[in-house]
Amino acid sequence: MALFLSLLLVLLFPSTNADWPPSPGYWPSSIFRPMSFHKGFKNLWGPSHQSVNHNALTIWLDKTSGSGFKSVRPFRSGYFSASIKVQPGYTAGVITAFYVRILSNNEAHPGFHDEVDIEFLGTTFGKPYTLQTNVYVRGSGDGKIIGREMKFHLWFDPTQDFHHYAILWTPKEIIFLVDDVPIRRYPRKSAATFPLRPMWVYGSIWDASSWATEDGKYKADYKYQPFVAKYTNFKASGCSAYAPGWCHPVSASPFRSGGLTRQQRRAMRWVQRYHMVYNYCRDPKRNHALTPECRS
């Protein structure tokens, strides 16, 4: 009788959040070769807070500085990824990021840029990290910030081991992947809502106490310093800004034309159903006249 009741409870209340996502059926990371850090990237700032050992990069933040790195060339499309491990414990206010970005040459609007982000938002004891994905299109840092955030609590602990995080950016779409599982697809619906200018690949760790953890409620506490992030298995493949016009964008699926397979879409729906904790398109406090892509 006890066994029957246990089986009935499993059928009625499946343990969805404890499970891993359905298999995506396709693993784009396997088709791109890893590169050494020095071959594809260089220090951007905080060189004393950065070290490379056997192609694994460690960067850290303390009260004196954080650190960042940048690709040696810009791209106009591509697949960009790294395996990342973040620090456990109290990391409130600390951002560990991997992203693509371009700055405008318009000095009147120095923050008027395009950017596609994967960011770990630091946390407090006993609470999970939040993985934030974001897309900025000609509108960040100039007083008219228009973010397109989707946030997730992952189905694993990102402090325990390395996991692979990727951005696939083409003229048609942006796809965010975690361990080859698509978690978000941002299609191009208009040139006004999609980044199309060439961008560089970046990574960094820095203090964002004013907003990173529960809207700034919890700040970076430097008694827990240094805050450390580790990166390895770097991949950056696609059409550089200087590639000939016939260079074909890479894909996150077996379809050369892009998009996702039915199995990949199923895995993405599972992640968004059980692990997404914020979607800008569903935020009633947002002015959606500024994000017209949400209408459809």
Find the catalytic residue in 119, 173, 214, 293: 119
- Is 149 among the catalytic positions? no
Closest CA to 268 of 183, 147, 156, 163: 183
Q: How far apart are CA 269 and CA 255, in angstroms?
A: 19
- Is 115 among the catalytic positions? yes
Find the catalytic residue in 107, 115, 149, 173: 115
Q: What is the dihedral of CA 16, 96, 219, 113, to 10 degrees?
A: -110
Tell me which H or E stretch contains 266: helix 262-274
Closest CA to 260 of 186, 156, 165: 186
For the chain, strand residue ranges (E) read: 41-45, 50-53, 56-61, 67-71, 75-86, 94-102, 114-121, 130-136, 150-152, 163-169, 173-178, 181-187, 200-207, 227-240, 276-279
With left for phi above 0 and alpha for psi between -120 and 50, is residue 239 left, alpha or beta?
beta
SS3 of residue 178 by DSSP: strand
Q: How far apart are CA 173 and CA 203, in angstroms?
A: 21
Task: Give me the residue label for tokens 């968004």.
Answer: 272
Q: How far apart are CA 57 and CA 201, in angstroms?
A: 15
Catalytic positions are 115, 119
